[in-house]
């Protein structure tokens, strides 16, 4: 993977699933911004994919 591919994949995931996510919107109302963010990081499958891609991006930058 190269940097531009990883960034493109991250953008596609957030545009497709995160920007209009009804779960995130509802959680922001109930738990606030940090509570919704925590859900995305710890329990959402898209969040897991984003974390993986972020780790891949860090590997590229460390080279």
**Domain assignment of residue 38, given as a range:** 3-62
pLDDT in tens, 33-50: 999 999 999 999 999 999
SS3 1: coil
The pLDDT tens digits along the chain (63 residues) read 899 999 999 999 999 999 999 999 999 999 999 999 999 999 999 999 999 999 999 999 887
Q: How many domains does the chain have?
A: 1
pLDDT of residue 42: 96
Angle at 24 between CA 19 and CA 28, to 5 degrees: 120
Nearest to 18 by CA among 44, 55, 53, 51: 44
């Amino acid at each position: 993977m190269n940097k531009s591919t990883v960034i493109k994949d991250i953008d596609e995931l957030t545009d497709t699933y995160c920007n209009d996510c009804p779960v995130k919107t509802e959680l922001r109302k109930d738990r606030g911004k940090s509570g919704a963010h925590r859900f995305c990081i710890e329990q959402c499958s898209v969040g897991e994919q984003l974390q993986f891609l972020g780790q891949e991006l860090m590997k590229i930058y460390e080279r």
